[in-house]
Structure 1
Amino acid sequence: MALAASLIRRGALAHADRTAIYVGDESLTYREVNDRANLIAARLTDAGVAKGTHVALLVSNGVNSVPMEFAAIKAGLVRVPLNARLSLDEHAAMVEGSRADVVVADASLIDRGRELGARFPDLTVLELGTGGDGDLLAPAETVVGEPAVDLAPDEPTLMLYTSGTTGTLKAVIHTQASYGAICSNILANLLNPQPDSVMLHAASLIHASGTFVLPYWIRGGAAAILPGFDPAGFAEAIGRYRVTEINLVPTMFAMLLNAGVLDDADLSSLRKVIYGASPMPMPVLEKSIAAFGPILAQYYGQTEAPLVIAALDEHAHADRSLWGACGMPASDVDLVLLDDTGAAVPHGEIGEITLRAPFQMAGYFDADELNATTFTESGWIRTRDLARFDKRGYLHLVDRSGDMIITGGYNVYPREVEDALASHPAVAECAVVGAPDETWVEAVTAFVATRPGVEVTEAELIAHVRERIAAHKAPKSVRFVDAIPKSAVGKILRRALREPLWEKG
């Protein structure tokens, strides 16, 4: 199995003079990216950062994002990405929990890096592209060679924090082998980049978007990197860089559609539009296919097993009955649905997705109890996601096990109710949770943000849902809000809505 570091070297040799990344008006070739990565790795070594060191990264999307990641991988460091949108306390918890000894901060985040340094006196703070003293990218007299580091397949290379359903931060460990396998998994199940391929990145490269960089790198494609997601800027960038593939979360589709920026955008270069990370509301999917054409494909994955556990390609999207399905299980994953006793459920019934794959995590860092409940005795991962198979073998995600509502003795899956609500033309976005109830134990409770200038009543929405799904699944109440809370990567945070309801009792 190829190590992540080996794939980086392979791509650098094969495509040295091709353009690897675009950032604004700037571009770097494969050779330039690789040379910059080697320089960073050498400077880290000079600063006493040895193989195996846990290095927290405060690096925003930009020209140094990819070189910094490649440097850490090739130097055998364990990178701990810190999402720029999080608070100082959240960053501090990640630094402490990951046992990071070093933080590397770029010019846009160096102040936060210094704040962390002040909080943890033993933490070494290094600068990237700031132009200051000790900048890891200060000009070198000669081109720096490859890091002289021996790497093994089972050595950690990434510690990525995820909050999951509980809200408790936990760090997922990926190794040189599993990160290399993520690349192979994407190429086998989702994408087939060509030398003229360009993927546009607007989401943070520290999460799912970043996993697409290496597959394009080894195939000779390029990454066009934006500092963040702005609908107008994103639409303009597709034509500007002749982008062939984009990757969006459902909330980004909604923002593009609502802003109307696609109407005059040059989308002629696009070959594939990928979505994932959270369920896609059916009205948004329908409008997205109308806007982009029949080129949408979906992936289902987790931080614990990125990126493609199952995929619904553009050909399957032609069948409306499959909209909302996760897709077919990936070719490199073993997947079963298990009940509470650990037995496989009959075909068509709901069970917990349990899997084994070369791209799965090595485990959670410093979390023996959590690892014991997540891994089966034979090493399979319990995902905590509930799903069923249809007659054709397509996987349909039902919900997270922790989000299921038990009302009056019946199981209600929030996603089903959310899909029914989202089909109402007044609903911009929604989330459904269970609230404490003396009669029903849990009452189905909906939070709804309406479209600007559109009015709708609670009674109208409840009636709308009752027309589409069983009456006991309809909300007992609807609460109107300005926006639905989301995580740093755009996932709806049901727990942020549910927990205050239970605290009030």
Structure 2
Amino acid sequence: MKYPAEESNPNIDPGYAELILTTLRRQPDRVAFRFTDDHGQRRVWTYRDAAERIERTATAFGELGLTPGRGVALLSGPRPEAFTVMVAACLAGLRYVALHPLGTAEADRVILRDSAADLFVVDHSQFPTRADQEGTKAITMAALNRLVAEARPGPQDPRGPALYLFYTGGTTGEPKGVMLRDRSLVANAFACSTWEWPQDTNFLITTPMSHAAGLFVAPGLLRGASFDVHASFDPDKVIDAIERDGVSASFLVPTMLYALLDHPRAAHADLSGLRWLLYGAAPTDAARIARARELFGPILSQHYGQAEAPNALTVLDSGEHRDDPAVLGSCGRAMPGVEIAILDSSGQEVAPGAAGELCARGPLVMDGYWNKPEETAAALAGGWLHTGDVARCDHTELITIVDRMKDTIITGGFNVYPREVEDALGTHPAVAASAVYGLPDPQWGEAVTAAVVFHDGHTASPRELAEHVRATKGSVWAPKRIDVYDALPTTALGKIDKKALRHTHPAREAPAQ
């Protein structure tokens, strides 16, 4: 199968894999990865080891009959091969897809079929039941590792331009394959390398490398970082890694950050070795960010991006995390090499402070959606990436994501952005987490509805919480109904699953007014 823009000019489009290999070869003896292998043994790969692994894997793909333009998919938990297989696929000019470890076999089938994958690489030690996919040749990670060990790279190995298909979550419909080529991947690496990586960073990865975490590795290598890879997120093990293993930096999605903050050991552990904590991927409660600053110190950075422009549209650096809810509720300012505008429905820029759609352009932005020309045209209309996020930008160019356009609640003729209600609920001392969404209502059109989780030992009535929001934001924002949960459901990406909340019977009937 052919795909658009197949030809690449090396003087215009620098290769992502070549960038990484050059970086690894410059400091061959540095530690790249520390991890526990399938036999429970602690292992270390140097930069030299990682480079050799990438080249051998690209050669092994050729020996398996994969030529430039063919497709390879990977299903793996966090492990170094999740990075080296991806880079090797880019080096060999393959169409690469990463499947989500917390997805389902049916989701795998949809993506494998849509991406036309020719080979499916499966970490069989973690996913023994998900390798049988009709129509796609499968190979276990162990079998691929044996081929890699025997591979001998040579000058005739097939090479070509990279195509990374980064599939969206698909929680609201069929997932779309975001096309990221060398241009976007290289722009991502250089932009993220401008973040506040500490000197001699030992970065802990606990999140799936099929998504944001996988794209943190290249910029980290540019900054000389090493990566400690855990198979999953466990707050107890995260604290151990900081106290005992020299971890100095990590990335957490909000639900993980909250779990770490609430862990019984957190208040008494020696976390002084942690020098940088990056968070993002979903809205984060400003009150919880303030608490994190109290616990960890002034080391927090927030990033914002999406699959169509991964990780690096905006950043709020640690020095800007001051005790101001408006600042802590923002996502910072535009990253280098990215132009951002807040546009109205006619494509005109709105006044400072007014809400509109956050749009972006620059080399980071995707080429489009795989085999979806109509969706591509809509997303890139007018030369801008239309993110679908409602945002405001103040006179200092500080950007605040208000909510997703599709999540906007229209109640009584007024637009209510759930994020603003969640922020108001988060300032109540009893509320640990919340999710706000609209439900059909015969009187209001949509009723503002909230699901809340309380801090241990705290409680509040729905009426009290609704009055708190009314006093903070106004009557339009006050929830008409509040349900109390022990925990909020999350998607495979760790984001609160509002679709599940809308369709699941609530834990307690709790009208707020």
**TM-score after normalising by structure 1:** 0.92
Change (3 A) 1:164 1:394: farther
Q: Is the 8 A contact 2:193 2:223 kept in 1?
A: no
Q: Is the 8 A contact 1:236 1:266 kept in 2?
A: no
Indicate the residue corresponding to 1:16 in structure 2: 28
Indicate the residue corresponding to 1:45 in structure 2: 62
Indicate the residue corresponding to 1:464 in structure 2: 468
Q: CA deviation at 1:327?
A: 0.8
Q: CA deviation at 1:141?
A: 5.4
Q: CA deviation at 1:110?
A: 5.0
Q: Which moved more, 1:232-241 or 1:203-212?
A: 232-241
Change (3 A) 1:31 1:407: same
How many angstroms apart in 2 are the aligned matches of 1:110 and 1:494? 27
Paired residue for 2:365, among 360, 363, 370? 360
Q: CA deviation at 1:463?
A: 1.7
Change (3 A) 1:213 1:403: same
How many angstroms apart in 2 are the aligned matches of 1:139 and 1:102? 15
Indicate the residue corresponding to 1:296 in structure 2: 300
Structure 1: gaps spanning 5 or more residues:
none
* Count, aligned residues: 487
Q: Is the 8 A contact 1:352 1:382 kept in 2?
A: yes
Change (3 A) 1:412 1:147: farther
Counterpart check, 1:341 vs 2:332: no
Indicate the residue corresponding to 2:10 in structure 1: none
Indicate the residue corresponding to 2:5 in structure 1: none
Change (3 A) 1:429 1:167: farther
Indicate the residue corresponding to 1:127 in structure 2: 140
Indicate the residue corresponding to 1:106 in structure 2: 123
Counterpart residue identity of residue 323, structure 1:
L
Paired residue for 1:487, among 471, 485, 491? 491
Q: Is the 8 A contact 1:198 1:241 kept in 2?
A: no
| SS of corresponding position for 1:298 | strand
Counterpart residue identity of residue 379, structure 2:
T
Indicate the residue corresponding to 1:70 in structure 2: 87
How many angstroms apart in 1 are the aligned matches of 2:395 and 2:439? 35
Alignment of 1:236-315 (within 5 A): 236-315=240-319
Alignment of 1:358-437 (within 5 A): 358-377=363-382, 379-437=383-441
Indicate the residue corresponding to 1:137 in structure 2: 146
How many angstroms apart in 1 are the aligned matches of 2:384 and 2:147? 46
How many angstroms apart in 2 are the aligned matches of 1:124 and 1:165? 27
Structure 2: gaps spanning 5 or more residues:
1-12, 37-41, 506-513
Change (3 A) 1:210 1:339: same
Kindly provide the CA deviation profile for residues 326-355 of structure 1, in whole angstroms up to 9, marking residues without a partner as x: 111112111111111111112221111111
Q: Which moved more, 1:489-498 or 1:404-413?
A: 489-498
Change (3 A) 1:412 1:500: same
Indicate the residue corresponding to 1:7 in structure 2: 19
How many angstroms apart in 1 are the aligned matches of 2:147 and 2:360? 45
Q: Is the 8 A contact 1:74 1:147 kept in 2?
A: no
Counterpart residue identity of residue 396, structure 1:
T
Q: Is the 8 A contact 2:193 2:220 kept in 1?
A: no
**Could you say what the CA RMSD is over the residues aligned between the two structures, in angstroms?**
2.0
| SS of corresponding position for 2:174 | coil
Q: Is the 8 A contact 1:165 1:402 kept in 2?
A: no
Counterpart residue identity of residue 327, structure 2:
L
| SS of corresponding position for 1:488 | coil
Counterpart residue identity of residue 65, structure 2:
G
How many angstroms apart in 1 are the aligned matches of 2:222 and 2:154? 20
Indicate the residue corresponding to 2:229 in structure 1: 225
| SS of corresponding position for 2:20 | helix
How many angstroms apart in 2 are the aligned matches of 1:309 and 1:51? 30
**TM-score after normalising by structure 2:** 0.90
| SS of corresponding position for 2:128 | helix
Kindly provide the CA deviation profile for residues 335-381 of structure 1, in whole angstroms up to 9, marking residues without a partner as x: 1111111111122211111110111111111112211211113x311
Q: Is the 8 A contact 2:290 2:328 kept in 1?
A: no
Q: Is the 8 A contact 1:11 1:219 kept in 2?
A: no
